[in-house]
Amino acid sequence: MINKIAKTASEAVADIFDGATIMISGFGEAGSPIELIHALIDQGARNLTVVSNNTGNGHIGLAALIENKQVRKMICSFPRTANSVVFPELYRKGEIELELVPQGTLAERIRAGGAGIPAFFTPTSVNTPLAEGKEIRLFNGKPYVMEYGLKADFALVKCKIADRYGNLLFNKTARNFGPIMCMAAKSAIVQAAEIVELGGIDPEIVITPGIFVKKVVEITNPVSENQLISENRRYPW
Amino acid sequence: MINKIAKTASEAVADIFDGATIMISGFGEAGSPIELIHALIDQGARNLTVVSNNTGNGHIGLAALIENKQVRKMICSFPRTANSVVFPELYRKGEIELELVPQGTLAERIRAGGAGIPAFFTPTSVNTPLAEGKEIRLFNGKPYVMEYGLKADFALVKCKIADRYGNLLFNKTARNFGPIMCMAAKSAIVQAAEIVELGGIDPEIVITPGIFVKKVVEITNPVSENQLISENRRYPW
Amino acid sequence: MVEIRKGWNREEMAQKIAGHIPNGAYVNLGIGLPELVANYIPHDREVIFHTENGLLGVGPSPVKENEDDELINAGKKPVTAIKGACFFHHADSFAMIRGGHIDICVLGAFQVSENGDLANWSTGEPGAIPAVGGAMDLVQGVKTIIIFTQHLTKNGEPKIVKHCSYPLTGKGVVSHIYTDYAVIDVKDTGLYVREMAPEIDFDYLKSCTEAELKQY
Amino acid sequence: MVEIRKGWNREEMAQKIAGHIPNGAYVNLGIGLPELVANYIPHDREVIFHTENGLLGVGPSPVKENEDDELINAGKKPVTAIKGACFFHHADSFAMIRGGHIDICVLGAFQVSENGDLANWSTGEPGAIPAVGGAMDLVQGVKTIIIFTQHLTKNGEPKIVKHCSYPLTGKGVVSHIYTDYAVIDVKDTGLYVREMAPEIDFDYLKSCTEAELKQY
């Protein structure tokens, strides 16, 4: 029998190793797998490369992982947001590395990594500092920059509904990077607000097919990042 | 008001011009927009380049379009199937051109065309005759072939449910090339078994967002290709 | 440093841009000022707003009690979804952008140059945390880029310049510039002033614009 | 041209391949003979079948009255979908293949060479209509390629050859060959015979195999 269900977040993240590359879903507060990240803080893997659109907010979730010095390098498109305090401080001190990637290029690189495409050409960033040192090539007289597919050892993803095969449904704009990160990671680890019986998800509406998912764990009432930040909470609690 | 609904298949295909490149959805009998193709036969545009996985069956649909000498060139992965009689005959006589593309490369080229990616690298077809004359490049020591994005002037696509914005739902394995062809065509023309009111499709389960669709036409009971072939029907009737 | 006059206010600018957007257009509004444009679409037009974090059919802001942390726009503000909306993942969202499917994008600017170069993501200052988001994708992929900006910086420096001194977002990408002082079209042959605010005349406009301006 | 002996029948071959497939594997079965494999998965294993035309979780063939023209496999035969199945479009389907997400693919062959080259899409004859389908994607993308074939052609020619004379589907892509005569593993150091059918001995097997065969 196929059963991808882990009993706890700790069990789900147990295999993450020092030096791993980890993709973390979310766009701002939407879709960030806070419970899985906190389990990773408890677990303690270090020297991580994290691929995520932002760098976390306040002192919880991804920001707490960074604050706990587990992250060596961030690959992201927008490292500073209104409530981002941890990353900017470490970055200014030279204690964390940053690879800045335009958001669409980041998404396409992740999708390419998952789809077996080692490299592709995009018009994005041509004639800007972010294209410096990269290969430029003309197609139909227009310049494009070559970008590489991006893979990861693990993905930490938040979704709404899952089944034991790993089929996933997401919630509104919390979908964002989740589906493509599941594709690009060797082991996608997913927290779902609900795990349903096989057959409980209509095959026509599955967003992430189970083939892309390694483990699912039910986190029934995930914390609200916004609320924790308004309460000035820090992890570890 | 946005209203992409055309009243008839003829109205929907009226703008197709001589020399156009047209993507046609379907994999065998599943998802082939027979009514739209027949409307295109009535309309008469010639010298077409058609991108479709197969070349049609019997003497209806795509096969009838080819038989009617409207197609100059086929771009496809599998031009001969059990019931394919028209294309092989014309091809042997040298009366139709063929660009043979591996199925996954065809899908990825179409998706790239729709996603603004002019070219990408794929391992598929390396060291085979289909990679001859193409650029080969090593990534991590492994060879990949460069393939180009594919765009079209029009797409003819069959789906199950649509709304006036052009949002689409498909039916089972009839989905196949439909969603990516809508992306890659300047004007995607879609026949839907049912057109519902705006709001009749849950935003979470939309397969093709309306932004990729130009026109939809309701064809309530589309013909069954299998049945027409078993009855030895020909178009024009 | 020039004398700062009063031109159009933000709402008037938003209204002018909204008037530029035809029925049926797919539009992406940048974070901040550009978001105002949504409020001024004429009632006889149906325009569909895209937000790059995965929603086509962005509706008005919700009342406080209906806010949903998982239904936000690219500026991370709570939004709603209209009837006929749809959600999708980031690769599909940027396929819409990069693939040329979005008709119009309204963005802010640090600087716009004579030939339509845009700088709006980094002032290049040492110590600043670089952050680019989707701006570079939008300017390359969207058919028409409209800039919504004050004509002068807070310090009274011109934002419409001969050459951008800040790092570029994209080269030759801007089509129209809407400032509090004027509406300017970017053409192959230069910048053409289409309209000026009541208090603004061409000489004054030239005095607070580093780039060369032309009249139709 | 060698004497043709009777080896395993198709069902026995399918059963052997099925025994090779572990619990939880994602498997793509080629058109024709390979489809038989699905019938022999041991009952204590759960295996998920992928068909490249957009379905993960292919179930058994339906009874005639439940056939659905829009629920078919890559061979265009009616199938069913199991509980927990999902549908997707062609680009996503081949992302699964090319991206290395499918564990095992079982394919037919015209020829397999000593170093694991496969020819199974074209005999290269003049006048033949070339057709490739998804074979080239599968052999490059799927982790383990298993060949399910008769050991000899209908004319008694060996299919396991030193070098493929037919156009290649992929170079060095085959992991295991299951024929009616033997099970052969393709390794860096050559072809190793793991098992032979009851009527077949190593000398006979060598006599009907052009490629060099080794014993473990």
pLDDT at C1 over 70: no
Q: What is the mean pLDDT of residues B36-60?
A: 97
Cβ neighbourhood burial of B172 (10 Å; 0-12, 13-18, 19+): buried
Handedness of CA D163, D168, D170, D175 (dihedral sign): negative
What was the pLDDT predicted at B82? 78
Residues on chain B touching C23 (C-beta within 8 angstroms): 1-2
Is residue A211 a contact partner of residue D104, using CB atoms and an 8 Å limit? Answer: no
Q: Does B85 touch chain D (CB under 8 A)?
A: no
**Tens-digit pLDDT profile for residues D63-79:** 999 999 999 999 999 99
pLDDT at A172 over 70: yes
List Cα–Cα distances, B7 to B61, B156, B236, C4, C136, in angstroms. 20, 16, 21, 56, 40
pLDDT at A80 over 90: no
List Cα–Cα distances, A83 to A60, A79, A232, C54, D156, in angstroms. 11, 11, 11, 22, 74
Q: What is the DSSP string of A118-180?
A: -EEEESTTTTSGGGTTS-EEEETTEEEEEEE---EEEEEEEEEEE-TT--EE--GGG-TTHHH
The beta-carbon neighbor of C88 closest among B164, B201, B209 is B209
Q: What is the mean pLDDT of residues A45-69?
A: 97
What was the pLDDT predicted at C194? 97
Annotated catalytic residues of D are 52
- Report which secondary-structure segment, H or E, holds D193: strand D190-196
Q: Do D46 and A163 touch (CB under 8 A)?
A: no
What was the pLDDT predicted at C126? 81
Q: Do B172 and A119 touch (CB under 8 A)?
A: no
**Chain A residue at shortest CA distance from D58:** A203
Q: Which pair of structure tokens corresponds to residue B164? A: 């006036």
Chains that touch C (3 or more CB pairs under 8 A): A, B
Whole-number average pLDDT of chain D: 96
Rounded distance, CA A23 to CA A36, Å? 12
Q: How, if at all, do strands A142-148 and D55-59 pair? A: unpaired
The beta-carbon neighbor of B117 closest among A121, A142, A203 is A121
Rounded distance, CA C161 to CA C164, Å? 6
**Tens-digit pLDDT profile for residues C36-64:** 999 999 999 999 999 999 999 999 999 99
**Tens-digit pLDDT profile for residues C105-160:** 999 999 999 999 999 999 888 878 889 999 999 999 999 999 999 999 999 999 99
Whole-number average pLDDT of chain C: 96
The beta-carbon neighbor of D98 closest among B27, B122, B177 is B122
- Report which secondary-structure segment, H or E, holds D29: strand D26-29
Rounded distance, CA C93 to CA A106, Å? 12
Q: Does A81 touch chain C (CB under 8 A)?
A: yes
List Cα–Cα distances, A232 to A57, A90, A229, D91, D195, in angstroms. 11, 20, 5, 44, 67
Work out the pLDDT band at B131, boundaries 50, 70, 90: very high
Residues on chain C touching B2 (C-beta within 8 angstroms): 23-24, 46, 48
Q: Tokens 């065809």 correspond to what residue? A: B106
A:C CB pairs within 8 Å: 147
Residues on chain A touching C91 (C-beta within 8 angstroms): 107-108, 110-111, 179-180
In C4-143, where do the E strands start and end? Answer: 26-29, 48-51, 55-59, 80-87, 104-107, 111-113, 118-119
Amino acid at D30: G
pLDDT at B72 over 80: yes
The beta-carbon neighbor of A125 closest among C69, C73, C136 is C136
ipTM: 0.98
Q: Which domains does chain A have, with CATH numbers?
A: 5-103+155-230 (3.40.1080.10)
Q: What is the DSSP string of A55-82?
A: --STBSHHHHHHHTT-EEEEEES----T
Rounded distance, CA A205 to CA B175, Å? 12
Q: Does A120 touch chain B (CB under 8 A)?
A: yes
What was the pLDDT predicted at A109? 98
- 3 state SS of D9: coil
Work out the pLDDT band at B29, boundaries 50, 70, 90: confident
What was the pLDDT predicted at C54? 98
What was the pLDDT predicted at B15? 98
- 3 state SS of B145: strand
DSSP bridge pairs for D72? D78
**Chain C residue at shortest CA distance from A124:** C137
Q: Do D141 and A116 touch (CB under 8 A)?
A: yes
What was the pLDDT predicted at D126? 81
Best mutation target among B204, B206, B207, B208 (most A Cβ atoms within 10 Å) is B204
pLDDT at A17 over 90: yes
What was the pLDDT predicted at D113? 98
Q: What is the mean pLDDT of residues B221-236?
A: 94
Is residue A163 a contact partner of residue A186, using CB atoms and an 8 Å limit? Answer: no
Chains that touch D (3 or more CB pairs under 8 A): A, B
Q: Which pair of structure tokens corresponds to residue B174? A: 């009839």
What are the counts of helices (DSSP H) followed by strands (DSSP E) for chain A? 7, 12
Q: How, if at all, do strands C55-59 and C80-87 pair? A: antiparallel
What was the pLDDT predicted at B84? 86
- 3 state SS of C52: coil
pLDDT at A88 over 60: yes
- Closest-CA residue to D27 (of D38, D40, D19): D38
Q: Which domains does chain C have, with CATH numbers?
A: 10-215 (3.40.1080.10)
Is the whole-model pTM more than 0.95? yes
Rounded distance, CA B156 to CA B185, Å? 9
Is residue B174 a contact partner of residue B2, using CB atoms and an 8 Å limit? Answer: no
Q: What is the mean pLDDT of residues A116-140?
A: 97
Rounded distance, CA B67 to CA A33, Å? 56
**Chain D residue at shortest CA distance from A118:** D99
